[in-house]
Amino acid sequence: MKNDNLLACEIVHRIRGRIRIKSKAFKYIGASLKTEIEKQLVQVRYIESVEISLITGTILIYFEDVSLSEQNLINLIQNTLNSHIFEICKNEKIEKSSKYVIERKLQEETPGEIIKKIITTAGLLGYNLFFKSKQEVVATGIRRFLNYNTLSTLALAMPVLKNGINSLVKNKRPNADTLSSSAIISSILLGKESAALTIMFLEEVSELLTVYTMEKTRGAIKDMLSVGESYVWKEISEDNVKRVPIEEIQKDDIIVVQTGEKISVDGKIIKGEALIDQSSITGEYMPLKKAEGETVYAGTIVKNGNISILAEKVGDDRTVSRIIKLVEDANFNKADIQNYADTFSAQLIPLNFILAGIVYASTRSITKAMSMLVIDYSCGIRLSTAVAFSAAINTAAKNGILVKGSNFIEELSKAETVIFDKTGTITEGKPKVQSIEVFDNSMSENEMIGLAGAAEEQSSHPLATAIMTEIKDRGIEIPKHSKIKTVVSRGVETKVGKGKEAKVIRVGSKKYMLENNVNLTAAIDAERGIISRGEIGLYIAQDDKIIGLIGVSDPPRENIKKAINRLRNYGVDDIVLLTGDLRQQAETIASRMSIDRYESELLPEDKAKNILKFQSKGSNVIMIGDGVNDAPALSYANVGVALGSTRTDVAMEAADITITQDNPLLVPGIIGLSKNTVKTIKENFAMVIGLNTFALVLGATGILAPIYASVLHNSTTILVVLNSLKLLKYDIKTN
């Protein structure tokens, strides 16, 4: 579970007016958050004082109201901690990651830099094998190191040597580079620079493949989240604009954006107005009119108009740039299997030193002992997970799926329960007119809809939008009307016509009609049909007479039923619908989609509670929502998936995986990719352990010389990296 165990509280002791509560979360709040939470709790009227211990993970509360139950106090603590859950989770991940050995951050090197190292190492290796002089071979003592050949070898090995020693000093544990360093130094001491260079060359080849995968992943993510133009128009003076690279734009600069261009900064409009498509950021599918003084975001598009924007956030401060950084820094989000691989490989490293000591003690052969240092499981085991997950995240990004960490790939592979939100997730989130009934024989269907449009013309309600869309599709002319009156939660009304012939047109709910003494007898049968189809009924009345009934519903997304069927094929045996909509609409959509069960009329916090309830029964829960009002549920689920173009800050922060395309088939697609990734990692484990064990046996018996042991070991590492790279070709859309 992601947060349930973290927020679980237990009473350590309680006496009158005093209680101590223990929670794992208190160990991860940090000093600054500790002070903030203490201040927050002291403001509660019945609390006198609060003291949090980061060491014991407890909170001591003195309170006045002795009638308070233990559950009241626990709920208060959990609600307070929940408001800081993102920071607490991040601190927990940071602390967990510190338990693992220090490894070089390969993502900080570019493929070009590693290729240069490979060429240099290969050149030096060729020199040692074919051109090395006898005088260099017989050099002894300090002279052994004071030659260009040895010094060049040590210089090339410096990153490995430095990190190997660093792990011993800082982490008090050896890592893969510690082992490689021992083998390299031993080879140099024995005058076998060629063996040391062979080790380095093969390691660099495997690193190149790893970094190449990481680089492709970063590129795919940046392409997917492209936030603006490469060049923008900067206002130099009132009558002068200049085209400059986006990198040159600073805070408080003014940029000019015209029709069809993408906005490249977060800022405020200081001149002009425009119709702006914000769907990539806010999820609103209708473009909005923005005028002077209003805020605009990088990544949105000017559909019509010209505006001047005062830049407030540029470069890495922009909303989407922060998201890219968040994904690139997803090292904290390691999968359990990756952490297991890191820990397992770290524990095997001392074994190599022990084996080297045993072999040397029994054979007195430094050469045979060196074979034990050259061959290690750790490198292959670590890369077998790191490259596989990186390749999977890359493949996902190329298909418009943003994955924040490898742990979510593994969690997806174990999915048992998938929970869907309804509006905007299973359905399109764009209500449409589905059925029309006319009860006045003297009136045509288009005339009745036109009258409804007269009342709804100025409303921004989704149901009004559905009627206005239908009017535009049919090319209906809306009759002239008077000022529109809105009755909140009931309906709207206006007058059509002039003088004594003016008619009052009302559009709204059944309750609104009854409150205005409209006779609904003619609509009884049509009303039953609308209810049975799960549509929302909009009643249209002229004075006190019902003239029509329009059924509006939010249609299911294309391919959503197919996506649900594929989920079942991947072993998901429990599909649930949680929605804030009315029971009738939830029941209808659940029946049409063959969903196992549903709950309706839920608030966002109710959805989160349902997630915890499923998790408490041992289910691995995937929550799929639109990422806005589903933020609490997305956060509490084992994996939160935001589906569609809804990409607000809240969505990106709460969701672990964001599917930026309106294609539900990508949900089973990413689950299929996750299962394939875990399968690939297990194959890699088998290859690494099997081949390296074989090499260790041959090395201990002297059959395999150190240089050939190094070739076999590093070939195994390259093999598992290549096996992982097959995930780059995985077809998410058809699997």
71-117 pLDDT, tens per residue? 888 888 888 887 787 678 667 766 765 554 455 555 557 788 888 88
Instruction: Report d(CA 28, CA 86) in Å as an integer.
Output: 11
Contact 639, 408 (CB under 8 A): yes
Output the six-digit token pair for 648: 């607000």
pLDDT at 53: 92
Please tell me whether residue 571 adopts helix, strand or coil conformation: coil
Output the six-digit token pair for 603: 């608030």
Q: What's the burial of 293, exposed, middle or buried (CB within 10 Å: 0-12/13-18/19+)?
A: exposed
Catalytic residue numbers? 421
Output the six-digit token pair for 137: 């071979």
Residue among 454, 423, 434 at smallest CA distance from 549: 434
Task: Tell me 533's DSSP state.
Answer: T
CATH class of 430-551: alpha beta
Strand partners of residue 289:
275
Pairing type for strands 574-578 and 401-403 reads unpaired
Task: Tell me 191's DSSP state.
Answer: T
Pick the CATH number of 7-97 from 3.30.70.100, 3.40.50.360, 3.40.50.300, 3.40.50.920: 3.30.70.100
pLDDT at 698: 78
Sheet holding 58-63, edge to edge: 9-15, 18-23, 58-63, 47-53
The yes or no reply on domain 400-426+555-659 and CATH 3.40.50.1000 is: yes
Please tell me whether residue 628 adopts helix, strand or coil conformation: coil
φ/ψ of residue 435, rounded to 5: -145, 150
Output the six-digit token pair for 722: 């290549």
Q: What's the burial of 146, exposed, middle or buried (CB within 10 Å: 0-12/13-18/19+)?
A: exposed
Give the pLDDT means over successive 10-residue stretches in the chain (735 positions): 64 90 89 90 90 92 84 87 75 62 58 87 84 55 67 85 80 70 73 76 75 68 59 85 86 89 88 79 60 85 88 67 50 53 61 77 75 66 78 86 83 90 80 92 94 88 87 92 84 88 92 93 91 87 94 88 93 89 82 90 78 76 76 79 62 72 90 93 86 77 70 78 89 82
Element (H, E) at 545: strand 545-553
Element (H, E) at 273: strand 266-277
Contact 421, 346 (CB under 8 A): no
Instruction: Report d(CA 291, CA 289) in Å as an integer.
Output: 7
Residue among 331, 490, 456, 457 at smallest CA distance from 406: 331
Q: What's the burial of 267, exposed, middle or buried (CB within 10 Å: 0-12/13-18/19+)?
A: buried
Q: Which amino acid is at 523?
A: A
Contact 724, 730 (CB under 8 A): no
Residue among 57, 41, 34 at smallest CA distance from 49: 41
Residue among 424, 423, 414 at smallest CA distance from 336: 414
Q: What's the gap between Cα 479 and its chain centre?
A: 49
Helix/strand/coil (H, E, C) string of 345-388?
A: HHHHHHHHHHHHHHHHHHHCCHHHHHHHHHCCCHHHHHHHHHHH
Residue-wise DSSP of 576-625: EEE-SS-HHHHHHHHHHTT-SEEE-S--HHHHHHHHHHHHHTT--EEEEE
- List all residues 6 or more positions away from 201 whose beta carbon is below 8 Å from its beta carbon: 118, 121, 122, 125
pLDDT at 631: 67
Residue bearing tokens 């401060």: 317
Q: What's the burial of 124, exposed, middle or buried (CB within 10 Å: 0-12/13-18/19+)?
A: buried
Domain 249-312, what architecture?
Distorted Sandwich (2.70)
Contact 512, 490 (CB under 8 A): yes
Q: Which amino acid is at 629?
A: N
Output the six-digit token pair for 712: 């076999």
Gyration radius of the chain over CA positions:
33
Strand partners of residue 639:
622
Residue bearing tokens 């986006």: 246
So where are the chain's domains? 7-97, 109-219+331-383+681-724, 249-312, 400-426+555-659, 430-551
